[in-house]
Amino acid sequence: MSWNTQILAWAAAATLGSGVALAQEMTFGGDEDQAYAADLWAVMADAKLVGEGMVRSFPYDGVAPHGMMLETFYTTASVNGHSGALVVKRNFGPEGVSIDEVLADPGKHLGAVTVMFQREDGYDPETQNWFWAKYLPDGTLDKNPKGMALAGLVGKNADVGCIACHSGEDDYLFTTDAMVGMAMK
Ligand code: HEC
């Protein structure tokens, strides 16, 4: 069943009053995803990967869609008792910004933080259990044009979005093959 057909089927079911909860069938951005994203943000803040007093690295030139200047961190983290690989990317702008400008005032140039966290087995084996989130610098979730919070299986079975684009890579990681081998069981 295609995604659109699926949505129509749910809509029809809901109209018929069968009690199908549309919100629970969303691939991403639902209450559970938002709550998990908040827990993940707190863990990252504790680890000084985001928020006040975050550690800095030397930014490098980025490519669309992530920003013109990037900092990326590879580590592991523990969220709600599960430990997994964590990749945090800070996206700086605007277009044309220089490394010196970013270093002089990183807070002013930070546009968003995009994160991949490898969740427990069984979360979504088909996409290697990666949880995706895009935060604004204050830790709130960014939204897509439809107003859906960017957290969870963003872009799964779609033409656009995190998973749609990253699935071009075997392990969903563009930058490296090294870290995940270490972190995965
Ligand atoms: C149109 C393609 C595209 C989309 C959509 C996209 N990314 Fe990426 N992403 C990339 C590319 C290319 C890189 C490598 C860029 C670099 O770091 O120099 C990357 C790198 C990353 C990295 C660093 C790990 C890695 O893959 O090397 C993270 C984390 C990340 N993206 C998260 C996200 C999240 C979260 C979303 C959705 C909100 C997203 N990306 C959407 C293309 C995309």
Look up the pTM and report it. Answer: 0.85
The reply to whether 8 falls in a domain is no
pLDDT tens for 115-158 read 999 999 999 999 999 999 999 999 999 999 999 999 999 999 99
Tally of structural domains, the chain:
1
Residues with C-beta less than 6 Å from any ligand 1 atom: 62-63, 65-66, 70, 72, 87, 89, 114-116, 132-134, 150, 154, 161-162, 165-166, 173-175
Domain membership of residue 63 as a residue range: 27-183
Centre of ligand 1 from the C-alpha of residue 166, in Å: 6
The reply to whether 168 falls in a domain is yes
The reply to whether 13 falls in a domain is no
The reply to whether 12 falls in a domain is no
Cα separation values, 37 from 17, 25, 150, Å: 31, 18, 9
Centre of ligand 1 from the C-alpha of residue 16, in Å: 40
pLDDT tens for 52-111 read 999 999 888 887 778 778 999 999 999 999 999 999 999 999 888 888 999 999 999 999
The reply to whether 105 falls in a domain is yes
> Which residue's alpha carbon is nearest to atom 19 within ligand 1?
174
The reply to whether 5 falls in a domain is no
Q: How many CB atoms lie within 10 A of CB 129?
A: 20
